[in-house]
Amino acid sequence: MPTCLMRKGTRRNERGLLLLVLACGVLLLGNTASAQVYLPKPLPEPSEYGKVILDNYSTTGPGAVVFDHWLHRSKFTCRLCHVDVGFAMQAKATGIRASTNREGFHCGACHDGKKLFEGRPIFAACSDAANDQQCDRCHSLGKKGARKYEYKEFTAKFPKGFYGVNWEAAERSGVIKPVDFVEGLSVKKAPMRSREDFTIKAGYSWVHPINFSHEKHSIWNGCELCHPEIFPTAQKGTIHFSMFSNIEGRYCGACHGKVAFPLNNCQKCHPRGPLWAP
Amino acid sequence: MFKAKFKAKIIAVLLFMGLVGLCGMRAIGGPQSSAAQADHPAHETWRKEFDDVCSKTQDAMTFSQEELTDLIRRCDALLPQIKKLDESQKKVYMGRLRMCRGLYAYVLDAKRNEKK
């Protein structure tokens, strides 16, 4: 083969290699950028986790309401509020108004000034008789010292986990006893039958399976909070649960990452961790 | 002359009593408040049926396909009654009914797939 032809071929190969390297670089950069989008959000302080600001209608007048999940979840199950009382699982979807509270819906379902909790009447929400100080207990955004309970003092005796309170341990040890019934609203039901726990094979070969506890979940959620709206089918293999969808707020991410323990600790769900873990 | 005056007085008294009676009827049978509607026996019927149908969600997995189909049918029959409620009550109970019916349909679907 003549030398000039050999040189041409080598140059072509060099150009091809260069293009390949460039293409790989672009792909790698692209993947890194998209991977950053799907990383779990940095966590706020545990006291801020699950905080909901209700400012649909109350930005004027008494101001926005600050709702802390940590306070209510220590007293009630998720199911009670999100099924029986009818609070939506998405922010701003419930349409809470002072008038609906006064009619005995939403916050007013419990906060009616008559229902008792731990032997004391639960203060009435949006009562006409309330003074500014009483309004500020809920309409507390930007008002220092307006709230009755502070996270640190309130949770001082609760067992702690990798991120704030370990609610599961708190419930198991009896430190908290979440109530699942409101008179006049809830339906009396037979005690929950224990459902079998199971493992879910991870979508990637380098991750150990997920240990899913039906029992733990059903204590807080009953059945109808998860099925079918969050997990729409029981047919195995029809839905691909991925960390991406969880981070987007679907499936496990409907609660985990918003109110229930966050997605940043792999071993809470994948107890054996990744394959390379000791 | 006296008779005519007496008659006129009796008519006036009767008219007055009639008017009072009508007003009273209006006060009792007039447009009802939402709270009164909720207490009405017809409205209590839907609540009893709702409570009965949706009190079984914990046991959904133990029901046969026929039982689940019947529970779904009862949920569907409740929907038109719940749609007639006041706005807030309707929103809450339609959501609850949707979840309750959804669970029975979910379990039914799972059972059907188990048999395949």
Q: What is the pLDDT of residues A178-211, one digit of tens each?
A: 999 999 999 988 888 777 888 888 877 778 889 9
B67 & B111 share domain: yes
In chain B, % helix, strand, coil (3-state, to 5) comes to: 90, 0, 10
Number of domains in chain B: 2
B45 & B26 share domain: no
Tell me the pLDDT band of A272, cut-offs 50, 70 and 90.
confident
In a domain, A3, yes or no: no
In a domain, A18, yes or no: no
- What pLDDT is recorded for position A144? 86
- What pLDDT is recorded for position B115? 75
A55 & A168 share domain: yes
Domain of residue B37: give its range.
Answer: 31-115
Domain of residue A259: give its range.
Answer: 198-268
pLDDT, one tens digit per residue, over B50-60 is: 999 999 999 99
ipTM of predicted complex: 0.81
Tell me the pLDDT band of B26, cut-offs 50, 70 and 90.
very low
CB contact under 8 A, A86 and B95: yes
Report the alpha-carbon distance of residue B11 to residue B6 in Å, rounded.
9
Report the alpha-carbon distance of residue B76 to residue B60 in Å, rounded.
17
Mutate to test the interface with A, among B53, B58, B82 (most CBs of A within 10 A): B58
With an 8 Å Cβ cutoff, is B44 touching chain A?
Answer: no
Query: B-contacting residues of A 188-227, CB under 8 Å?
Result: 188-193, 195, 222-225, 227
- What pLDDT is recorded for position B30? 33
Number of domains in chain A: 2
- Asked if the model's pLDDT at residue A24 lies above 90, the reply is no
Contacts of A234 in chain B (CB under 8 A): 106-107, 109-110, 113
DSSP letter, residue A82:
I
Please give the mean pLDDT across all residues of chain B.
79
- Asked if the model's pLDDT at residue B76 lies above 90, the reply is yes
Compute the C-alpha angle B86/B92/B95, nearest 5°: 125
Q: Take residue B103 and report the two structure tokens written for it.
A: 């669970």
- What pLDDT is recorded for position A77? 97
pTM of the model: 0.79
B83 & B37 share domain: yes
Q: At what angle do helices B41-54 and B87-115 cross, to 10 degrees?
A: 30
B53 & B22 share domain: no
A168 & A202 share domain: no
A58 & A151 share domain: yes
Cβ atoms of A171 and A164 closer than 8 Å: no
In a domain, A242, yes or no: yes
Supply the CATH number for residue A238's domain. Answer: 3.90.10.10
B7 & B46 share domain: no
